[in-house]
A and B are shown apart, each in its own frame.
Chain A
C-alpha cells in the first residue's frame, strides 16, 4: 500500500518565479490496484511519477510504502518513461537486460524472460538490433519490456503507449492487463487517452494544471477481465463523460 499525503513540488527556475508543479496531492494506492492518471499537458503527471519512483526530490508531504517512507528507488520498482530512453550503444536485448545487470540477477534465467517479453511486445527477432534501427513505437515497446524484466511488484508507466498506433495500443492494453492479472502487480499508469484510462483502471485520478492537483478520483466498476467490446457499453461511456467533464469545453490535448 502506497499512501501519498500532502505532497507538494515546486521547481525553482532560472527566471526566478517558482513553478508549482504539484499542490497538496493526496492519494492511496492499494496492493495490486491498477490506477490511471489523466490530465492535460503540464499538470504534473510526470513530476508525480518521478517522485513516486524516488528519482525526484519532493518539496513537502509524505510518501509511505507499507508504512515506511521512500527516499530512493527500490528493486521492486519498474518504470516506463515518457521517452523510451534506450541506450544507443546497447542492442535491444542488452537494453532490456539493464535492470537485471544493475541488480545483479541471474543472467540466464532473466534472459529467458527478456526474450519472452520481447515476444509479448511483438518484437521477437529484434534482439540484436540497435535503437537507431527501430521506430519510435518499437523503442517504446522495448522500454516497456525493460520495465518488466526483473518482475517488479510496482509498475510506474508514463504514457507507455503514447507512441503507438490505435491497434497496437489496444493490443498492448490487453497484454498489460494480462500481466497485471497474472502477477498481481500494483500499477500507476499515466495516459493522455481518456478511453485508455477508463479501460485499464480500477481507479482514475484526474489532475488539473496550475497548480498541478488532483480534482477527482473515480472508481471504475467495470467487470474484469476487460475486453474491447466494453468500450461501446453505456457504463464505459458514462465514465468517459465523467472524466471529460473535468476538462470542460477546453478539452484535453489528446
Chain B
C-alpha cells in the first residue's frame, strides 16, 4: 500500500478489452466452473478433512445459511458501516489535506513530510493502540479504516493537481483569473480522475482496514465472526464470510467506477485509469 502510483492510462489495452469483452466473460465463467468442479472433485476423491479445506458445496451451503440468518446481517451491517464511515472520513480528510498541499507550495514542504511519516507507520502495528484509545466498539474500526484510506487519497490528489496544464493555467490567468478560480476551473478538474483512482484504491483498502480492526479487538462484525469460525474450525463458514467480504469489495469498487464515469464524463471513453496498490 506504500507504493500508490498515482495514475496510468492505457488506451491500447482499454480498447482491446472492449473489443473482446464477450469471449472474456465467457472464458472467466468457464474458468470458475472448472476450478470449482476440480476443487470439489479433488476434496471428495482424496477425502480431505473438512477442517483443512471444505468442498465448494459445503461453502455454498454455509453461505446459504448465512444469507437466511438475521444475526449474519447484523454483523455484515456493522462491518459495512465501519467501511463506509471510515472511507468517508478518511477520504474527506485526505481531500482537504491533499487540496491544501496542492494549493499552497509551502505546505508541501512543511506538512507533507509528516503525512508520509504517518504512512510509513504500519497501521496494523498501531491498531492495538487505537483500540485502547477508542475502545472495542465501532469508533476504533472507523479510525483504523480512515487512517488506511487517507493516504492514497492525499497522494493522488496532490499528483492530480500538479498535473494541471501550465498552458491552461496561463490561459485563465490572461483573463485575470484568481488563484481560486484557477483551482476551481482547472486544477480540481484535472485532479478528479486521479482522485477517483485514489478513492478506488481506498474503498478496497477500507474493507481490509475494517477487518483488520475487527481482528484485533471487536465485539461484532464480519471480522469478528470470521475469528469465531476459525476458532471453531468451521472452514466452510470462514470461506462463506470471505466470499461475502469479497462481494462487498467488488460492489463498492463498481459503485466507485460508476460514480467516476459520471463525474469525469469528459474523459475519452477508452482512456482508463488504473492504480496499483498492494
Contact = CB atoms under 8 A, between A and B. Distances in A.
B185 interface: yes
Contact of A88 (B170, B174, B181, B266): B266
B176 A73 contact: yes
B268 interface: yes
A88 B267 CA distance: 8
A121 to B, nearest CB: 17
Contacts of A72: 173, 176
A102 B189 contact: no
Interface in A69-109: 72-75, 77, 79, 81, 83, 85, 87-89, 98-99, 101-103
A185 interface: no
Given A75-B176, A102-B181, A130 B266 contact: yes
Which of A55, A101, A102 has the most CB atoms of chain B within a 10 A radius of its CB?
A102
B15 to A, nearest CB: 15
A99 B175 contact: yes
A74 B174 CA distance: 8
A81 B266 contact: no
Interface residues of A, number: 24
Contacts of A81: 167, 170-171
A136 to B, nearest CB: 15
A53 interface: yes
A184 interface: no
Interface in A38-70: 50, 53-55
Contacts of B173: 55, 72-73
A54 B172 CA distance: 12
A98 B185 contact: yes
20 contacts: A53-B174, A54-B174, A55-B174, A72-B176, A73-B176, A75-B176, A81-B171, A83-B167, A88-B266, A89-B264, A98-B185, A99-B175, A102-B175, A102-B176, A102-B177, A102-B178, A102-B181, A103-B175, A103-B176, A130-B266
Given A74-B176, A75-B176, 20 more contacts: A53-B174, A55-B174, A72-B173, A72-B176, A73-B175, A77-B175, A77-B176, A79-B174, A79-B175, A81-B167, A81-B170, A81-B171, A87-B185, A88-B267, A102-B176, A102-B177, A102-B181, A130-B266, A132-B268, A150-B175
